Amino acid sequence: MAAPSAAQRIVIENAAIATVDANDTEYASGYLVVADNKIESIGAGKAPEGLENVVRRIDATGHLITPGLVNTHHHFYQWITRGLATDHNLFNWLVALYPTWSRIDESMVRVAAQGSLAMMARGGVTTAMDHHYVYPKNSGDLSGAIIGAASDMGVRFTLARGSMDMSEKDGFLPPDFAVETTEGALAATEETVKKFHDASFDAMTQVAVAPCSPFSISTQLLKQGAELARRLGVRMHTHGSETVEEEKFCHELFGMGPTDYFESTGFLGEDVWMAHCVHMNDSDIAAFARTGTGVAHCPSSNARLAAGIARVPDMLKAGVPVGLGVDGTASNESGELHTELRNALLINRLGAHREAALNARQALRLGTYGGAQVLGRADNIGSLEAGKLADFVLWKIDGLGHSSIADPVTAVVFGAAAPVTASFVNGRQIVENNRLLFADEEQIARDARAEAQRLARITAQS
Ligand SMILES: Nc1nc2[nH]c(O)nc2c(=O)[nH]1
């Protein structure tokens, strides 16, 4: 029998390190040793001597190393419908955009996924997710195109296979032509999980069951979606409590608020994370804490759509797992996650808790470990600890934007978006000096423009 090949090591030294472990351990000058796709050791000072099979040494002087950022809510297809309906609230924004979104096809979705992923990855995202809920008839293999784009770029990825089965004719929001049948959506979701979901420790692709929102889905889809997810052992995701209009809709149709409605369908639990959660009262937050339901906090999108300010400090105090989300880029045109750390901190300080709402380290935790928690991956990513997967970022903090800020974490969270000198996923470098190593940004930009124009033309002709 052939001897197992020895692990290949990468040694990184002389960096400030924020591990985001349970004790928030930090090193003013430390080292990180990667062996194959895992962190082998991490600590203060220089790396241990005598390591074998060291294939690369990096002198990270002038950098902060953090866990890779984890994005917990997005809609990639919206990359080709950015900058539209810019002065709308959620409901009239959705009504304005559904007719365009209902005309997407596989080629458009592939390019939109590449654009969304590229924008995040070059800014330090190592784990991404896409809540894709628009599946027009005969539009091709949309889920396959999205997953292929993430895999090509080397980004760890969760596809939340979304669905909508209720429309205007039922008194719901989407136009009739934009929705699937309940049975069709459930069958396609099951097929997607069986084809793509990987449950292993170092999985690069996972799939979640993700009916869209209370005003676009039936109670049956929520209940059967929850049953399906639990039968297959995968996570569940949806939008909830985003706006006052949604709250009113739920009270009028279901006789209760969104959180009680979700709980009545089985759609709360440790295996669920929900986007937005802006309009939550004390009992809603307590229900999330009691059931272990996670939250994807999307501060920029909530501001763009005038939704409100989520009560993140109260959620954290109650023990609710909270991560950060870019949200779709039709409601957050920047498409970056690293700026959401700063926006989460600043926007939450406009709420009841003022300057005590969040600090820099809590913001970093939301964007890393918190994200890993809500995606169900806190055992393998989200903090820098021996045995965890080697997903991490080297932020350059000795340049113009940051060198005069003494504290490295404050520099990265409060300061301008810090340049990413290197980003690693699963022990493999995917970004160097803010450039993607496995994608051509200029080509993606050209393709995205062409596909955005093609979609606008098709919509105008329909
Ligand atoms: N911010 C967003 N909220 C949503 N609700 C829903 O049903 N779709 C969306 C969306 O695309 N963005």
The pLDDT > 90 percentage for the chain reads 98
CA dist., res. 296 & res. 241, Å (int): 12
Quick check: CB of 332 below 6 Å from ligand 1?
no
Quick check: CB of 238 below 6 Å from ligand 1?
no
DSSP E strands, 149-297: 156-163, 205-211, 236-240, 272-276, 294-297
CA dist., res. 129 & res. 389, Å (int): 18
Quick check: CB of 304 below 6 Å from ligand 1?
no
Which tens digits make up the pLDDT trace of 289-327? 999 999 999 999 999 999 999 999 999 999 999 999 999
CA dist., res. 408 & res. 62, Å (int): 10
**Taking the CB of residue 251, how many other CB atoms lie within 10 A of it?**
14
Residue 425 Cα to ligand 1 midpoint, Å, equals: 29
Residue 352 Cα to ligand 1 midpoint, Å, equals: 26
Which tens digits make up the pLDDT trace of 262-281? 999 999 999 999 999 999 99
Q: What is the CA radius of gyration of the chain?
A: 21
What global pTM score does this model have?
0.98
ipTM over 0.85 threshold: yes
Quick check: CB of 327 below 6 Å from ligand 1?
yes
* Residue 3 CA from chain centroid, whole number: 40
Atom of ligand 1 nearest to the CA of 239: 5
CA dist., res. 285 & res. 288, Å (int): 5
Atom of ligand 1 nearest to the CA of 302: 1
Which tens digits make up the pLDDT trace of 208-260? 999 999 999 999 999 999 999 999 999 999 999 999 999 999 999 999 999 99
Quick check: CB of 217 below 6 Å from ligand 1?
no
Residue 213 Cα to ligand 1 midpoint, Å, equals: 7
Residue 401 Cα to ligand 1 midpoint, Å, equals: 34
Quick check: CB of 75 below 6 Å from ligand 1?
yes
Do 335 and 79 touch, CB atoms closer than 8 A?
A: yes
